Chain A
Amino acid sequence: MEHPKKELIEGIAELFEAHEEIYVPGEWEAFSQQQQRKKYPFFAQWVKIAAVLFLIFSVLFFSLSRKPEQQENIVKVKATPVLPSTGQMKSTGVTTVPPKAAAGSGQGVLSGRSPADQQRASLAPAQHGQELVLQTVMESLTAAVNTPVYTHEEVPLGFQKKELLQDTAAQQKKEGLSTIDFLIAESKKPATEQKKKEIGSKWDFGVEVMPTMTQKNMNVGGGLTTAYRLSDKLAISSGISLLQLQSGVSVGGSAGAMDMSVARALSDRELTSVNANIKAIDIPLGLVYKINKHYYTSAGVSYFNVITEKRSNTYVQTAQINQSVNNALTGASYSYKAVVSEQVSENVPDEPLRGNSYLGFFNFSVGRKQTLFNKYNIRIEPFIKVPVGKLSDQELKLMNSGLKLQLSF
């Protein structure tokens, strides 16, 4: 059959108007899987992170649930009063002098003599019987620590006075011992009280300011922070802040600017860059690990809700103009064509991000904490925020890094 002759272009147009490829089995399944992945990006990674976090929290929970019992035990042990130790009283030479000897010697016996001399004087006249008496007296004195025994009938007035003085000295000694023990006990108390204090305040609240930078622009944000201490080393942090992000992306080959072809030179406009200014609410949730007393590190994600968005396109407009030059000497005028280009920025009504919420950013940071007046904490925390999910698909580069300055109390 002869094929009717046609002009090539006409034939091509007719051919492609009706052209369809044959469907390849499996394309729909691949497409729907891709859609599922886009709906739940990093789903597998999220499951792994959730499993690790669950393990950490469960271990911490069980370890924390055992700790209060131990502390109670410590408290109980500490609370028991320390009894003063009983020690042997030294013999101070208080003796009962038999009436005869006492009568003989008179009241002045004790007036100027030392207890040892008095003991020798009392022992000298009566050796055998008096020794026995002395022994029994010594034994009774050592046995009765708290209750000094006064035998006023047997002991003369001078002896009574001395006994009183020596008894009070013994009491003072006893009190001294108990004072020492008391002080020892008191010195140990503040540690437990401090521990109790620390246990009581697990929450931290604060305010923060964070200057941040995208690829080309400087931005700023600020807000409130909070943290809950899970253990000495771990804490969960969160907060809410208002962020302003400016970002832009270049469109078009910058290197080709000088190699402009005739066609491009004649074209009216060329899009060179797209810029956007976004204000959004950022709600982070992260895990903080305390490296030591001053340094810590943190990782988490943040929820991002765009409140306002302003976009603008920057164009390079070129125009051909005729210029004429007059030669002052010859009076001749020359005209020539020149290409003039200028940069023009126009606002774009499109706001594809505005009003939408995204999960959002991965946040990583390392910080240093400094305590102030034992009450406040100042934190300096360099951070980086990496966009994930739909935010990473945007043509704008929203990855930013900066410095968080926090004051917490």
Chain B
Amino acid sequence: MFEEIIAGLSTRDDRVQERIYIQYWGYLMGVATRYFKDRNIAREVVNDSFIKAFKTMYDFRHNNDIIEFQKSFKSWLAKITVRTALDKLRANKTLLNYVEDYEEVKVDHVEVEQKLLVEDIMKLFYGLPDLHRTVFNLYEIEGYSHDEIAGMLSIPVSSSRTYLTRAKFKLRELYMKSIEIN
């Protein structure tokens, strides 16, 4: 599969777009749904990401190394999706919705005793304010630094740290509550 993709990119064959779309759609939807609860918006973000990727992917350097290509190409697509998601958040003015009445509950450490399920964690995610969730995604999952996050979201570095801390506390709190309910 990846050999065909590399060959298609080298020859600038448009038919490789379908293969790439089908191959990476699931992964990019996983990225987008972490930022947006609404699946239609997440789907739009994924499609916009593919449009951007298809414009420049033929110049993607791979050196014919399949394993290296797999990692780097996937990472490249994920970055495009994250930036597209942030653009969408800015356009929807969602990032500016700051939660005034935030009750800070400090829950430092929670150990997970059972296997985490994506659906359950997504429910916890959507319980966070948009800004907190975004900072958490960018720092903990995407691996950006606070300086980079501050630049991307046009917020101070200190705010990025604050939001991350609050996001973690909130997730732990929601997780504890969900365990108690169950």
Q: Which residues of A pack against B, CB within 8 Å?
A: 3, 5-9, 11-13, 15-17, 19-24, 27-28, 31-32, 34-35, 251-253, 256, 259, 261, 263-264, 266-271, 395
Quote the shortest CB–CB distance from B29 to chain A (angstroms): 4
B168: interface (CB < 8 Å):
yes
* Chain B contact surface mostly: helix
What A residues does B113 contact at CB under 8 A? Answer: 3, 5
CB-CB under 8 A from B21, the residues of chain A are 27-28, 31
Closest-by-CB residue of B relative to A270 is B154
B26 touches A3 (CB 8 A): no
CB-defined contacts of A6 to chain B, threshold 8 Å: 111-112
- Write the B12-53 contact mask toward A (1 if CB under 8 angstroms, else 0): 000000100110011101100110000000010001001100
Cβ contact within 8 Å between A268 and B156? yes
Of all chain B residues, which has the CB nearest A271? B154
Which stretch in B3-11, B57-65, B114-122 binds the other chain?
A: B114-122
Alpha-carbon separation in the docked complex, A34 to B110 (Å): 45
**Interchain CB contact under 8 A, A22 and B26:** yes
Contact between B110 and A266, CB atoms less than 8 A apart? no
Per the bound structure, the CA–CA distance linking A260 and B141 in Å amounts to 30
Q: Does B71 contact A (CB under 8 A)?
A: no
**Nearest CB to that of A35 among chain B residues?**
B51
**Structural contact, A31 and B159, CB atoms closer than 8 A:** no
Instruction: Output the nearest chain A residue to B42 by Cβ-Cβ distance.
Output: A21
Shortest Cβ distance from residue B68 to the other chain A in the assembled complex, whole angstroms: 18
Asked if B116 contacts A31 (CB within 8 A), the reply is no
- Interchain CB contact under 8 A, B154 and A267: yes
Chain B residues 122 to 172 lying within 8 A of chain A, measured CB to CB, are 140-141, 154-156, 158-159, 162, 168, 171-172
Q: Which residue of A lies closest to B20 (CB)?
A: A28
Q: Could you say which residues of chain A place their CB within 8 Å of the CB of B118?
A: 15-16, 19
B140 and A13 within 8 A (CB): yes
Is the beta-carbon distance between B121 and A12 smaller than 8 angstroms? yes
- CB A341 to nearest CB in B, in angstroms, measures 15
- B90 and A251: CB pair below 8 A? yes
CB contacts (< 8 Å) of B111 on chain A: these are 5-8
Q: Is A261 a contact partner of B100 (Cβ separation < 8 A)?
A: yes
B98 and A263 form a contact (CB under 8 A): yes
Within 8 Å CB of B155, what residues of A?
263, 267
Tell me if B175 counts as interface (CB < 8 A to partner A). yes
Contact yes or no, A7 B112, CB < 8 A: yes
Assembled-state Cα–Cα distance A6/B172 (Å): 13
B81 to chain A, nearest CB (A): 13
Interchain CB contact (< 8 A) of B98 among A15, A22, A264:
A264
- Interface-central residue, A9, A15, A35, A264, by most chain B CB under 10 Å: A9
Complex A-B, nearest 5 residue pairs according to Cβ-Cβ distance, in ascending order: A20-B26, A21-B26, A8-B110, A21-B29, A19-B30
Cα–Cα distance between A6 and B112 once the two chains are bound (Å): 5
- A8 in contact with B30 given A13-B141, A261-B100, A264-B98 (CB within 8 Å): no
Report B37 CB to chain A, min CB distance, Å. Answer: 15
Contacts of A271 in B (CB 8 A): 154
Of all chain A residues, which has the CB nearest B141?
A: A16
> Hey, which chain B residues are within 8 Å of A7, CB to CB?
109-112
Complex Cα spacing A23 to B50, Å: 15
Q: Are A252 and B93 in contact (CB under 8 A)?
A: yes
Contact B22 A23 (CB under 8 A): yes
Cβ of B66: which chain A residues have Cβ within 8 Å of it?
none
B154 contacts A9, C-beta separation under 8 Å: no
Q: How far is the CB of A143 from chain B (nearest CB, A)?
A: 99
For A269, give its contact among B50, B110, B115, B154 (CB under 8 Å): B154
B20 smallest CB distance to A (angstroms): 10
List of A residues within 8 angstroms of B26 by Cβ? 20-23
Chain B nearest CB: distance from A348 CB in Å? 14
- A11: chain B residues at CB < 8 Å are 112, 116
Q: For A31, list chain B residues within 8 Å (CB).
A: 21, 47, 50
Looking across the interface, which residue of chain B has its beta carbon closest to that of A2?
A: B113
How many Å lie between the Cα of A256 and that of B99 in the bound state?
A: 12
Give Cα A13 to B140, complex, Å: 6
Query: Is there an interface contact between B93 and A263, defined as CB atoms closer than 8 Å?
Result: no
Shortest CB distance B45–A (Å)? 13
A267 touches B30 (CB 8 A): no
Q: Knowing A7-B110, A28-B22, A267-B159 are in contact, say whether A12-B116 is a contact too (CB < 8 A).
A: yes
Residues of B within 8 A of A17 (CB): 141
Q: B124 → chain A, closest Cβ, in Å?
A: 8
- A sample of 11 inter-chain contacts (CB < 8 A) reads A16-B121, A16-B141, A17-B141, A20-B26, A23-B22, A32-B18, A253-B96, A256-B96, A259-B100, A263-B162, A264-B96
Q: Min CB distance, B113 to chain A, in Å?
A: 6
A22 to B25, CA, bound (A): 8
Instruction: Give Cα distance in the complex from A20 to B141, angstroms.
Output: 14
A8 touching B171 by the CB < 8 A rule? yes
Contact with A along B83-109 (1 / 0, CB 8 A): 000000011010010101000000001
